[in-house]
Amino acid sequence: MDGLLSLLSSLAARFEPRSLIDISIVAVAIYWVLTLISGTSAATLVRGILILLTLALALSNLLNLTMLQWLLRYSLPAMLVAIPVLFAPELRRALEQLGRAGQLIPGREPVHSSNRVGDAVSTAAQRLAERRWGALVVIERGTALGEFAENGVTIDGVVTVDLLLSIFYPNSPLHDGAVIIRGERIVAAGVVLPLAQSASLEHMGTRHRAAIGITERSNAIAVVVSEETGAISIANAGRMVRNLGEGRLRKVLSILNRSAVREGGGPWWTRWSGQGEPRELEGGV
């Protein structure tokens, strides 16, 4: 007890008013960085890096693993080089916000869509398929897609069948891009998405490759309507199932939405391992 009291008194003697300012500045900076990446897919990447480092540090200290300790000690300089590469979009956006002296702490909106959104997307997909109007609808889930939505046209409208049909009308200036849905609202339209680069997908069109590409980088759901055949497809976790009808699409969207809600409130091992996806998407392309 005396040792603890002496330690506390020693710490209190070293504590100065400028120490409080120092701690506050560092805390605000860390909080700002975390809120900045919380709207992007970088949050999942940071979470994975932290888990990996925590497990490695715990194992090296508990088991006294000399080689692992050496690797961790000398990997820090490499991390300083890798961070700007991994988080280039987030760093660029942070510097732009500082330059404009704009809002430094962006908000976070709900990411789980409701059954009403699934019904609207399913009905719109069926009508688009009947008219042979190509479409790509991305439904955001646990991984936010803020950096992709920024390159499109901001919509911020409630998801309805008529709005989706008007966006993907062939003469619309936004019909060639993707629509991103967050919660029950369309965030942006005319969005350009990364394409899947696998050689086995070269026979696919741009919309289908973009649907697989965005689901490889996030846990979003992508619904595609082919302009050539009118076929409806759905992509999830880098896999795609084709030739869906309105009823089956509505069912799959409902199951995927329930799966996302469970993952958002369940144990960390189910949220981060991607468990709980429906069997409708097994087998892939």
181 three-class SS: strand
Looking at the fold, whether 76 and 216 belong to one and the same domain comes out as no
Q: Is the pLDDT of residue 281 over 60?
A: no
Question: What pLDDT, on the 0 to 100 scale, is given for residue 254?
Answer: 87
Give a yes or no: residue 48 inside a domain. yes
From 56, 73, 100, the end of a domain falls on 100
pLDDT band at 103 (very low <50, low <70, confident <90, very high): very low
Instruction: Return the CA Rg of the chain.
Output: 23
From 100, 125, 150, the end of a domain falls on 100
User: Does residue 214 contact residue 174 with C-beta atoms inside 8 Å?
Assistant: no
Looking at the fold, whether 17 and 121 belong to one and the same domain comes out as no
Looking at the fold, whether 167 and 259 belong to one and the same domain comes out as yes
Question: What pLDDT, on the 0 to 100 scale, is given for residue 276?
Answer: 46
Give a yes or no: residue 110 inside a domain. no
Looking at the fold, whether 130 and 226 belong to one and the same domain comes out as yes
Q: Is the pLDDT of residue 35 over 90?
A: no
Note down the domain range covering 277: 115-281
Question: What pLDDT, on the 0 to 100 scale, is given for residue 104?
Answer: 44
Looking at the fold, whether 246 and 148 belong to one and the same domain comes out as yes
User: Does residue 111 contact residue 140 with C-beta atoms inside 8 Å?
Assistant: yes
Question: What pLDDT, on the 0 to 100 scale, is given for residue 219?
Answer: 83
Looking at the fold, whether 120 and 84 belong to one and the same domain comes out as no
Task: Quote the CA–CA distance of 285 and 162 in Å, as a whole number.
Answer: 30
Task: Quote the CA–CA distance of 259 and 278 in Å, as a whole number.
Answer: 8
Q: Is the pLDDT of residue 275 over 50?
A: no
Give a yes or no: residue 270 inside a domain. yes
Question: What pLDDT, on the 0 to 100 scale, is given for residue 154?
Answer: 92
Give a yes or no: residue 108 inside a domain. no
Tokens standing for residue 51: 């888990």
Question: What pLDDT, on the 0 to 100 scale, is given for residue 93?
Answer: 59
Question: What pLDDT, on the 0 to 100 scale, is given for residue 262?
Answer: 52
> What is the average pLDDT value for the chain, to the nearest integer?
78
Render pLDDT for 199-258 as a digit per residue (tens, 0 to 9): 667 678 899 999 999 988 888 999 999 999 999 999 998 889 999 999 999 999 888 877
Amino acid, single-letter form, for residue 164 = L
Burial label, 261 (beta-carbon count in 10 A; 0-12, 13-18, 19+): middle
Compare 276 and 12 and report the one with higher pLDDT: 12
Q: Is the pLDDT of residue 91 over 80?
A: no
Question: What pLDDT, on the 0 to 100 scale, is given for residue 13?
Answer: 66
Domain of 169: which CATH number?
3.40.1700.10
From 100, 123, 155, the end of a domain falls on 100
Number of structural domains, the chain? 2
Render pLDDT for 121-165 as a digit per residue (tens, 0 to 9): 999 999 999 999 999 999 998 777 888 898 899 998 999 999 999
Compare 93 and 188 and report the one with higher pLDDT: 188
Looking at the fold, whether 236 and 121 belong to one and the same domain comes out as yes
Among the listed ranges 50-64, 118-132, 259-273, which one has the minimum average pLDDT value? Answer: 259-273
Give a yes or no: residue 258 inside a domain. yes
Compare 130 and 84 and report the one with higher pLDDT: 130
Looking at the fold, whether 45 and 127 belong to one and the same domain comes out as no
Give a yes or no: residue 137 inside a domain. yes
Looking at the fold, whether 272 and 213 belong to one and the same domain comes out as yes
